[in-house]
Amino acid sequence: MSWQQRIGQALDERRAADAFRTRSPVTQGAGRYLTRGEQRWLNFSANDYLGLSQHPAIVGAWQQGAARYGTGSGGSGHVTGYSEAHQHFEQQLAEWLGYPRALLFISGFAANQAVIAALLHKEDRIVADRLSHASLLEAANLSPAQLRRFAHNDSAQLAQLLAKPVEGLQLTVTEGVFSMDGDSAPLAEIASVTEAANGWLLVDDAHGIGVSGREGRGTCDEQNVKPDLLVVTFGKAFGLSGAAVLCSEEVADYLLQFARHLIYSTSMPPAQAVALSEALAVIRSDDGEARRQKLREHISRFRRGAESLGLQLTNSTSAIQPVIVGENHRALALAETMREAGCWLTAIRPPTVPAGTARLRITLTTAHHAEDIDRLLEAMHGVRQ
């Protein structure tokens, strides 16, 4: 088989399964509206949960940061790319979340790959929630350690898997809020069975940070759990991009030696770190609290309305509100109908979610107005099975 044949066959298979992915450029993709040239839709697809991507103080901070530091960091943090702005933001994050150290990464994907690759050895075992994000499961698959997956949020099965004999060390991996279902992990139980097995716990709180907990400290704060490794990302509620790993002094020093994504990659622009500090200040402020309150109101408004329409929701109390529709073609057709009605949302299909559970993934944001939620619900009238 030639390269052309191999690639052509893979593309044909994707098309045949209604799973072919494409991108289309937007004029504006985060915030209340998605705009494409002259066309405009209410945006129910972005992860900008608090509407911070458009916040004037944060935009201003990025501009000022660029004026002061220039555009790029100039190199890896191990050479010249670790600025005072990076250090300042890391210290703020560590203090906010109650960890000795925070290390910045350019993305959540990179952070998860780096941590799992750096920590796990061949004789070790990773036990991960079956619905963990691709960046976690792929890192676990690539690592030399054994990977075992437990049924979604099933801490009893997790305990059973952790109890099986293992030569090396064990790492439990889960998320604060699951990206495709919007539900939360039972972190206290997961932490306690992990501790009982002498394992460590990694929680990826990409969708919880900024949104839940005191001052937006996330799902772990909300559930009063302190994982050994906490990954937070800034592409969602923070309205920017990047990520951080919160950990002990020793783990931070270890990652600085062995995390290749840190060592062999240009650090984020210092101006981005300045903007992230400003985003954190907003998240912790009364403005942040008011934004979280408004988001919670949108979420209850949507769930009340969707339940009265008889739609199949998940038990999510987060800004991620999937409506399960089943088959791929149906999800695609419904997403199209919704767009015709002025509401932009995404059909999520396998392999991102299990086969037969294609869904419309609706995300709500503080940037929405209450009447936007009503308009979405009105457009969803036709979705009932």
Ligand X SMILES: *Cc1c(COP(=O)(O)O)cnc(C)c1O
DSSP string, 36-93: ETTEEEEE-S---TTSGGG-HHHHHHHHHHHHHH-S---S-TTTT---HHHHHHHHHH
- Residue 253 annotated as catalytic: no
Q: Pick the catalytic residue: 43, 45, 47, 328?
A: 47
From the candidates 129, 143, 153, 236, which is the catalytic residue? 236
Residues 220-239 interacting with ligand X (rule: CB under 6 A): 233, 235
207 binds ligand X (CB under 6 A): yes
Does 179 interact with ligand X (rule: CB under 6 A)?
Answer: yes
Residue 174 contacts ligand X per CB under 6 A: no
251 and 231 Cβ atoms separated by less than 8 Å: no
From the candidates 133, 261, 298, 368, give the one annotated as an active-site residue: 133
Phi-psi region of 125 (alpha: psi -120 to 50; beta: other; left: phi over 0): beta
Q: Which residue's C-beta sits nearest to ligand X?
A: 108
Report the site for ligand X in 103-162 (rule: CB under 6 A): 107-109, 112, 133, 135
Nearer of residues 175 and 228 to ligand X, judged by Cβ: 175
Total residues contacting ligand X by CB under 6 A comes to 15
381 is catalytic: no
**Chain centroid offset of residue 104 CA:** 16
**Part in contact with ligand X (CB under 6 A); list of ranges 7-15, 183-191, 200-208, 339-347:** 200-208
Q: Which residues of 86-120 are buried (b: 16+ CB within 10 A; e: fewer)?
A: beebbebbbebbebebbbbbbbbbbbbbbbbbbbb
Distance in Å, CB of 213 to ligand X, minimum:
16
Nearest to 202 by CA among 104, 107, 108: 108
Q: How, if at all, do strands 125-129 and 146-150 pair?
A: parallel
Is 261 a residue of the active site?
A: no
Catalytic residue among 43, 143, 155, 207: 207
Which one, 207 or 292, has the nearer CB to ligand X?
207
Q: How far is the CB of 7 from ligand X (least distance, A)?
A: 25
- Tell me if residue 224 is catalytic: no
Show which residues are catalytic. 47, 133, 175, 179, 204, 207, 236
Binding site for ligand X (CB under 6 A): 107-109, 112, 133, 135, 175, 179, 204, 206-207, 233, 235, 241, 243
